[in-house]
Structure 1
C-alpha cells in the first residue's frame, strides 16, 4: 500500500465554499433546559463548545408544549421541546459555537487562539506537533452573565509597564509542571522575554481588578451580538465550574381543568391551531376527523379553548417583575387548592394528566401522633419546566436585577425551550392549628429570625436597595416544611429504592398554606413505577417519618452542626449540612438554603422545641 501523501499546511484565508454545519455530538433534550442550555459550555472530546441562542435553533419541526398558566407567568405564547437532531441533516438541531477560543498544545506549549493552530478540518490538532489541543481551563465572567477568555497576555505582563492589548510582539506558551497539582504548577510565559508567571492568585476576587481590567461585556452565545457596556469587575472561573452557568428554570404542574378532557385533546394539535382562524380550525378538525373520534366535544368548544389559551399566553411587554412574581404565587396557590381535592382516575384516563386520591386507610393516627392533617397520593402528574434565562458567578435569586439574568436570544421570542415530565408523588399537609401554636414559640421564632436577617441582607445587596428587595420567606413555617421535605426525600431514597436526585420537592408555604409535594422528577423509568405512591400510605408514611426523624435527631457533624450560628452558602442555613439535610441541587427548589434540622427535632438544650419533638419519634 502506498504511503499517504503528507498533509500540507493551510496558508492564508479559506477560499473553498462554506461547508455544511459540522455535527458535534448529541445530548438529551432535557439537558438543554437543565444542564447544557443556552450559554453553557459542553466538552466534546478534546474541544469545548457553547450552546447558541434559541433564535439560531431550527424549530421548524419542534414539538409544542402547552401549559397556559406557566406561559402567562413568563409572558410567552407557548413552549417548545428543544429540536431533535436529524442524522441525515447536519444543519438541523441546536447550534453551538466554539468557546473558549484560546487553546494550548501539550507538546510544544503554544497558547493562542484556536485559528492560529491551523488545525485540519473537523479536528482540534496542532499543525506542527500533530497533538490534540487542549481548550483553556480558565475563563472570566461577571455577575451580569458576560463571559470571555482569560486575559493571559495581561496576566503574564503585569507589572512590566508594557502597553495593553498584547502588542509586545511575542507569543505565549503554557506548561504544566508535575511537581504540584496546584495553580502554582500552571506557568504562562511569553517569548518577548518577561519572566514566566504561574496562575496562582488568578482566582482572587481582585485579581483582574489589580490588572486594571473591566468586563468586556461579551456575549459569545449570541451570534454577531455587539459587546454590552458593563462596569463590573470580572471573576476568574474554571471552565468546568458550576458557577459558569446557573439555569433560571420555572415550572408548573398540569392541573384540572387544563390537564384533562378537551384541554388535553386540544394540546396535541395546539401548535397547528394557535395561529389559525375559527374557520380554519373547523376545517382542520373535519379533515383530521378529531371530532368523529371524540363526539363528546364540539368545534365551537375547541375554537373557544384555543382563543382562551391565546389570551392567556399573550406576550405582555410591559409586565413588571412584581407582576410575574404574583402570577407565580397564583400558580402555587391553584396547585395547593387542587392537591387538597380528590381527582380519581376516569374511564378516559388516556387524556388525564392528573390523578389524585386519598389513601385507602385513615390518616387520623398520623394527625394525632405527628400533626399531619392530610395525605394525598398522586398516581399521575405532569410537570412543565421552562428555561427563561441564566446567571453566572452567583446562583439565581428572587432579588436578581434584570441585567443579571442573561438573555437566551438576540431579540425577544414568543416561545421558550421547555421539557415535560410525567410521574407520581405524595402531597402532605400539616395540621394548621398545631402548626400555628408551634411557630409562635420563642425558640422557632428566634432561630428563623437569624436566617431571615442574613437572607434579607443578601436580597437587598443583589437588588441594589432595601426598597427593591423582596421579603425573605424565611419563617419558622418555611424552615420546618423545607426541612421536612428534605428528610423525607433522604429516607425514601433509602427505603423506596429511588436515587435522591430522582425525587424533587415542591413547597406550598404561606400564612394559610402548609404543604409539601414530593414527586419523581425524572423522565426515565424511575418516573412512574409506583414506589413513591406506596410510601404515602399512612402506615408506611408513619414508619418512614419516624425513621427520618430519628436520623435527623443526630448528625455525624454534631454538636457543631446543631450548635452552628449559621451554615451553608451566605449563612442561610442553621443546623443543616451534607451529612444530614442537604440534597442534590436538582431535588431542592431553593438551592439548599433556608433549612434547619432543629425545626423538626428541637435543640438538645431544650431552648427550641421541634414540631415533631412531642411525638418521641
Structure 2
C-alpha cells in the first residue's frame, strides 16, 4: 500500500517533486473488511488513514461483475482494490497521516507531526533523535467523522484563554504508578495546572468543555467540513470502534454467472455497440463459449440487460426492498437446486443428496442441499464509527467513500467455495412459532432491540419520528442460533476453523433456511469437506451431536437463565462458552441468539424446536 506522498529535495528555485513513499502491504481482502476507506492503519511507529476512492489508482484493477447486486447499489460494476507497482507508475491505494498529533517519548513534547521537523521518510524528534509515537486518543462520532483529540481544550479548561493560543507548548507524560488514564498526564508550559486523561471517555466531560464534532473527514482530500449534530466520543486509536465496515453481498445464481450471461460479464459487453460485440464473438470467444452462445442471442441479451438496468435506475429501488429481493431469489435457487449443463464453467452448483432424508426430517430438517460450488461478491459500500451499524441506521451514519456525487464502481472482493443449505420443516416450524411461551421469550429480545432503535432514533432525528421495525421473530432467532450451533460443530468435524465458515440466513414468512459456507478467499476456502457435512449420513450424526452440545454451557445456569446478554442486550441464552462465533462468521455481530429456543429450557417451560412435533 503506497502511503503519504513526500517531497524530495530539489535545486533552489525549482518545485519540489512529490513522489509516493511505499509504506507497507496489506491483502486485498483486508481493504474491504479491515483496512478499508476511512480506517486507521499502524505502520511501524506511524499511523495513517486509508484515503478515499478518488485517490485510488484503478488503471489496472480487475473488474468484478455481479449484476443483481450492482443494480441494487446503483453502480455498473465492482473492482478489486489495486496493487502498487511503482516501477510501472501505479501506486495502488494511498493513505494520509492521521492522527496529526505525535509525541516524543524522551522530551514528552505533544504537537502536530509537522512541528517535529522529522527527516524525510521518518517519524523522529529532530532534537532527541528518537522515534515518535502517534497520539493514542482520537475523537469520533457515529456519523463517521474523526478528529484529533482536543488536548489544548482539555488542559485549558476553566482558564482565561479563549480558544486561541496560550503561547505555551503541550507535553504528555505517563506515570509509573498505574496503567489507568489517571497516569496519563497532560501539561502546558503556560503554567495552567496539569490534567490527567481520566474522564476523557465520558461524553458528559466533553459536553462541559463544549467540545463538539467538527465534521472533519481526513480520509478525503480537501473535503469540506460537514455540519454534524452528533456528540463526539473519545476513542482509542487502535480500538475496533473507530471503524465499522458497511458491506453488502450477493451470491451468483442462475442465470447470472453462466452461459450467455457469463460471456457478457467476462468480456464486458454491456454498453458495447453491435459491431464490437460481433468482433468479440468472432475473435475472443473460446470454442466452448461459441458452442453455447448464439451471436444474435448475445446481442439481444445485452440490450435486454441494458434496458433492465435503465428501468432499475429510474425506479430507485429502496435499499431494504432490493436486498430482500436478492435473498428471496437466492433462497429459491438453493431450494430448487441447479446442475449446469453448459460448457462454460458454472459459478453455482447445488443438488440434493441421493440418500433418503427421513433421518433428518425427524430432527425438523426438511431438506439438505449440497452447494458444491458458489461465488459470493462482497462490497464495501460505506463505514461508520462508534455504535455498530444496523440496517435501521439513517443515511447520515453511512460515511462517504469519495467526494464524488456519483461513482459507477465500488471496491469489492469475491469468494469461491462450497456450502450446505438446510431448510426447516415448514409445518413443524409454524406449529412451534405460535406457542405462547416461544412468542413471549422472543418478545424479550424484540423489546430490547426496539428500545435500542428508539434511543438511536431520538438522538438522530428527534423523539417524534417513527422507529424502524425490528427483524426479531421466533423464526429468525431459531435459524440464527441453529447456524451458530452448526458452525461450531462442523468446525470440529469438517476440518475448517470456525472463522473460515460463514452463515447466510433466509428468514421471513416465506423463507426458513440457513446456508453455511466457506467464507475466506484464501486456501481455507477450498479444502473440501464442508459439502460432505450435508450428506444425510453425516447430518444424522452431526446434528444430534450439535444439539446435545447446545443443551449445556459451562456458564449454566447463569447463561440459560439470563434475561438479557450480549452487546445491547439483544441475546438471551448465548455466550462465548456456547454459541457465539468469530465476528467474521456472523451476519449480525453475534446478536439475536437464544439456544433455549432450539433445545428448550431445563424446566421445559419454553419448548425448543427440537422437542416439538407438528
TM-score, structure 1 as length reference: 0.93
Alignment correspondent of 1:401? 394
Deviation at 1:110? 0.8
Q: Deviations over 1:542-570 (max 9, x none)?
A: 21111111111111111111111111111
Supply the distance in 2 between the matched residues of 1:314 and 1:592 (Cα, whole angstroms): 38
Alignment correspondent of 1:307? 303
Q: Deviations over 1:164-221 (max 9, x none)?
A: 14x0000111111222111112111111111211111111122211111110000111
Supply the distance in 1 between the matched residues of 2:450 and 2:435 (Cα, whole angstroms): 22
Label 1:111 to 1:455 Cα distance change in 2 as closer, same or farther (>3 A): same
Does the CA contact (< 8 Å) of 1:55 and 1:413 recur in 2?
Answer: no
Alignment correspondent of 1:454? 448
Supply the distance in 2 between the matched residues of 1:313 and 1:208 (Cα, whole angstroms): 48
Supply the distance in 2 between the matched residues of 1:466 and 1:340 (Cα, whole angstroms): 43
SS at 2:410 equivalent: strand
Alignment correspondent of 2:533? 535
Alignment correspondent of 1:132? 131
Label 1:513 to 1:317 Cα distance change in 2 as closer, same or farther (>3 A): closer
SS at 2:526 equivalent: coil
Supply the distance in 1 between the matched residues of 2:205 and 2:252 (Cα, whole angstroms): 48
Supply the distance in 2 between the matched residues of 1:452 and 1:347 (Cα, whole angstroms): 46
Alignment correspondent of 1:178? 176
Label 1:383 to 1:289 Cα distance change in 2 as closer, same or farther (>3 A): closer
Alignment correspondent of 1:444? 438
Label 1:304 to 1:396 Cα distance change in 2 as closer, same or farther (>3 A): farther
TM-score, structure 2 as length reference: 0.94
Q: Deviations over 1:240-287 (max 9, x none)?
A: 1111110110000000110211212222211xx334222222223334
Does the CA contact (< 8 Å) of 2:42 and 2:48 recur in 1?
Answer: yes
State how 1:212-361 maps to structure 2 within 5 Å: 212-270=210-268, 273-290=269-286, 294-314=290-310, 323-344=318-339, 346=341, 348=343, 351-361=345-355
Does the CA contact (< 8 Å) of 2:373 and 2:417 recur in 1?
Answer: yes
Label 1:605 to 1:540 Cα distance change in 2 as closer, same or farther (>3 A): same
1:79 aligns with 2:54: no
RMSD: 2.0
Alignment correspondent of 2:421? 427
Alignment correspondent of 1:50? 49
Does the CA contact (< 8 Å) of 1:442 and 1:608 recur in 2?
Answer: no
Alignment correspondent of 1:104? 103
Alignment correspondent of 2:3? none
Supply the distance in 2 between the matched residues of 1:605 and 1:305 (Cα, whole angstroms): 60
Q: In terms of mean alpha carbon deviation, does 85-94 or 350-359 score higher?
A: 85-94
Supply the distance in 1 between the matched residues of 2:610 and 2:134 (Cα, whole angstroms): 53
Supply the distance in 1 between the matched residues of 2:57 and 2:300 (Cα, whole angstroms): 31
Alignment correspondent of 1:7? none
SS at 2:481 equivalent: helix
Q: In terms of mean alpha carbon deviation, does 537-546 or 139-148 score higher?
A: 537-546
State how 1:377-392 maps to structure 2 within 5 Å: 377-392=370-385
Q: Deviations over 1:464-512 (max 9, x none)?
A: 4676433211111111100000000011112222111100000000112
Deviation at 1:432? 0.4
SS at 1:517 equivalent: strand
Alignment correspondent of 1:161? 160
SS at 1:565 equivalent: coil
Q: Number of aligned residue pairs: give it.
A: 598
Supply the distance in 2 between the matched residues of 1:441 and 1:222 (Cα, whole angstroms): 53
Alignment correspondent of 1:5? none
Deviation at 1:91? 4.6
Deviation at 1:90? 5.8
Q: In terms of mean alpha carbon deviation, does 199-208 or 416-425 score higher?
A: 199-208
Q: In terms of mean alpha carbon deviation, does 289-298 or 196-205 score higher?
A: 289-298
